[in-house]
Homo-oligomer: A and B are copies of this chain.
Amino acid sequence: MTGNLNGMAEDLYLGIKDLPIVSPHGHCDPGWFATDAPFPNPAELLVIPDHYVFRMLYSQGIPLSELGVGEEGRKKDPRAVFRTFAEHWHLFLGTPSRIWMNYVLHETLGVSEELSSRTADLIYDKIAEKLAQPDFRPRALFDRFGIEVLATTDSALDTLTQHQDIRASGWGRRVVPTFRPDGVLDGADPEFVQNLNKLAELTGCDLDSYDGYLNALRMRRAYFIQLGCTATDHGIERVQTEWLEDPDALYQRLRRREGTEQDAHRFYGHMLIEMAQMSVDDGLTMQIHAGSKRNTNHAVMRDFGRDKGADIPIAMDWVTGLEALLNRVGNSAELRIILFTLDEGTYARELAPMAGHWPCLRIGPPWWFHDSPAGIARYFDQVVETAGYYNLAGFNDDTRAFLSIPARHDLWRRGVAIHLAEQVSRGYFCRDSAEYVARLLAVDLAKLVYGLQS
């Protein structure tokens, strides 16, 4: 059980519980579906790659290397890693990680025991046994999970070979790439120049001029679209946009590695507008994930690399940050830009009023730290009255933990049901409307906003 619901909420939940899963944003490895190789072992499946899990253990003094993370971690026996995790299972009380993990263990993997140091080995063996079975290979799980479409997130420089392989395999399921161009837009990235070289190579464009650079980006977008892509994605710390009169000047400076950090921010802010304009042309939905200060723990960054749980949200100013972009393209009713925030203070203050005015804007679902029962409740509480439902973007699981996909959609659908049951019980709208909105939020809005209907 991931949660008890009563009466109306239960009914609304049952009406959407088994709808197909539309997963328009996430970080699954397309290779899983290209090769359909079995998942290696319980620790590598459930613990080692999950920064939600190891950050919490680390916060209570458990070294990352004990959790299989990093070079030294990779030498650890996976069973020992799983044991360490199981011993500290109590630390997850009250967190969505615990709800998701319980769902995965009980619903997906058929484990009936509770995690603890006592049951660690037993559960490890049970899972390992399952993973060896054909029913637990990636493609079989994809079907069992009822996934209608799954989007991965792919560098603009990715050749998408695995996506090609999936298409060529005749499997017939829909796994699509997402165009993530940060590496070729962010002049502060240490590999920016190298990335531009790769971009030139891949496209055959002459990147000496800014126009050539734009052409190369257009070509990559077109290539992604050929493989089913319907959206782009940008991950940035702070939103700052500006239409440059002479972008080439900054472009050249950054290419020569002579730009300052501020130059890089201004250039990226200009490129966000260029990307939005390309979206008007080619129809790709644009996603902006903003507000996380990355890698704030320098020692962890040095020893274990990026994405190790030390990314911390910061206060945002979406109004000023998007002013230039919106005033250039925001009145287009064909354009769709989805905003994801980590600063919940902006839900009611900025995002809902903005999405409730600008034709292009949609509000992304609660993300990262806020994809949780209380986070979902705060989201509905703070965005719906001003933005309505039709300016929302449905749900994203945003996960690299494939097995957690059904768990996360289930948690969202329960949250939807709880919210709507409350609306009905307060008399704000009737049961029929609630059922209709429930389907919207569970599946239809995501398809609509990401252009995944067909």
Quick check: is A214 within 8 A (CB to CB) of the other chain?
A: no
Quick check: is A297 within 8 A (CB to CB) of the other chain?
A: yes
Asked if B357 and A369 sit within 8 Å, CB to CB, the answer is no
Contact indicator per residue, chain A 306-329, by CB within 8 Å of chain B (1) or not (0) = 000111111101011001001100
The stretch from A17-25, A153-161, A265-273, A426-434 touching chain B is A426-434
A391: chain B residues at CB < 8 Å are 59-60
A314: chain B residues at CB < 8 Å are 317, 319-320, 349-350
**Nearest opposing residue in chain B for A311, CB measure:** B353
Quick check: is A233 within 8 A (CB to CB) of the other chain?
A: no
Asked if A59 and B361 sit within 8 Å, CB to CB, the answer is yes
Asked if B56 and A3 sit within 8 Å, CB to CB, the answer is no
Query: Could you tell me which residues of chain A, from 273 to 298, have a CB within 8 Å of some CB in chain B?
Result: 293, 296-298
Q: Please measure, in the bound complex, the distance between the C-alpha atom of A388 and the C-alpha atom of B99, giving whole angstroms.
A: 13
Query: Could you tell me which residues of chain A, from 416 to 444, have a CB within 8 Å of some CB in chain B?
Result: 423, 425-429, 433, 437
Contact indicator per residue, chain A 338-379, by CB within 8 Å of chain B (1) or not (0) = 000011110011101111111101000000011011110010
Q: Per a CB cutoff under 8 Å, which of B99, B300, B378 touches A428?
A: B99
A427: chain B residues at CB < 8 Å are 1-4
Asked if B373 and A426 sit within 8 Å, CB to CB, the answer is yes
Asked if B359 and A348 sit within 8 Å, CB to CB, the answer is no
Quick check: is A95 within 8 A (CB to CB) of the other chain?
A: yes
Asked if B297 and A331 sit within 8 Å, CB to CB, the answer is yes
Quick check: is A187 within 8 A (CB to CB) of the other chain?
A: no
A7: chain B residues at CB < 8 Å are none
Asked if B374 and A385 sit within 8 Å, CB to CB, the answer is yes
Q: What is the interface residue range for chain A against chain B?
A: 35 or more
A296: chain B residues at CB < 8 Å are 319, 323, 326-327
Asked if A59 and B358 sit within 8 Å, CB to CB, the answer is yes
Quick check: is A192 within 8 A (CB to CB) of the other chain?
A: no
A243: chain B residues at CB < 8 Å are none
Quick check: is A177 within 8 A (CB to CB) of the other chain?
A: no
Quick check: is A172 within 8 A (CB to CB) of the other chain?
A: no
A385: chain B residues at CB < 8 Å are 94-96, 369, 372-375
Q: Please measure, in the bound complex, the distance between the C-alpha atom of A183 and the C-alpha atom of B327, giving whole angstroms.
A: 27
Q: Please measure, in the bound complex, the distance between the C-alpha atom of A95 and the C-alpha atom of B387, giving whole angstroms.
A: 8
A326: chain B residues at CB < 8 Å are 296-297
Asked if B333 and A343 sit within 8 Å, CB to CB, the answer is no
Q: Please measure, in the bound complex, the distance between the C-alpha atom of A359 and the C-alpha atom of B343, giving whole angstroms.
A: 23
Q: Per a CB cutoff under 8 Å, which of B91, B323, B358, B382 touches A374?
A: B382
Q: Please measure, in the bound complex, the distance between the C-alpha atom of A92 and the C-alpha atom of B429, giving whole angstroms.
A: 11
**Nearest opposing residue in chain B for A425, CB measure:** B4
A433: chain B residues at CB < 8 Å are 93
Quick check: is A299 within 8 A (CB to CB) of the other chain?
A: yes
| Whole-angstrom distance between the Cβ of A242 and the nearest chain B Cβ | 15
Asked if B297 and A356 sit within 8 Å, CB to CB, the answer is no
A4: chain B residues at CB < 8 Å are 425-427
Quick check: is A389 within 8 A (CB to CB) of the other chain?
A: yes
Q: Please measure, in the bound complex, the distance between the C-alpha atom of A1 and the C-alpha atom of B99, giving whole angstroms.
A: 36
Q: Please measure, in the bound complex, the distance between the C-alpha atom of A353 and the C-alpha atom of B292, giving whole angstroms.
A: 11
Asked if B378 and A374 sit within 8 Å, CB to CB, the answer is no
**Nearest opposing residue in chain B for A359, CB measure:** B61
New A-B pairs, 11, CB < 8 Å, besides A94-B423, A343-B345: A94-B388, A94-B429, A296-B326, A297-B331, A310-B358, A312-B353, A315-B349, A348-B370, A374-B381, A374-B384, A375-B385
Q: Give the 6 A-B CB pairs with smallest separation, nearest first.
A: A61-B333, A4-B427, A94-B384, A3-B427, A372-B385, A313-B349
